Amino acid sequence: MKLELTYAGDRLAAVELPKRPPADLTPDALRHLQTELAALPLQFPEASEFRQRVWKAIRRIPFGATVTYRELAAQIGHPQAARAVGSACAANRLLLAVPCHRVVASRGLGGFALGLEWKRKLLALETTGAAASQNITHAKTQRREGKTRSV
């Protein structure tokens, strides 16, 4: 997948993705890409303290997990600010490095800067990748405990 990365000095300032998600993007490739991006120092755009807090909280959402706009608002101490969280997500220029696709509406997906096709694809890949990772971890744990049952 071709990405366009914009830097401000030595900090990542923006990530641009293709208009449509590539059909051959795999869960492992997505996890690797997001791990690489998460390790880079980021340059958040000038924004309110609230938006900065939203973006930092989004970075803590694990691969394969989602939270609602309302849940994220409560996590940062503003339980009535679900719409403002959505606005912060819409202003995110660091796609994948700040994985705002993991923030969803209480009923449905909510929005995404590149459209719902991208959001569905990213969430599906992460769900598949997280489930596979859990199965491997579970199998290793059972082997260590001396069980031979297949999972």
Q: Which residues are catalytic?
A: 100
How far, in Å, are 6, 35, 68 from residue 32 at the CA level? 19, 5, 25
Cβ 125 vs Cβ 30: under 8 Å: yes
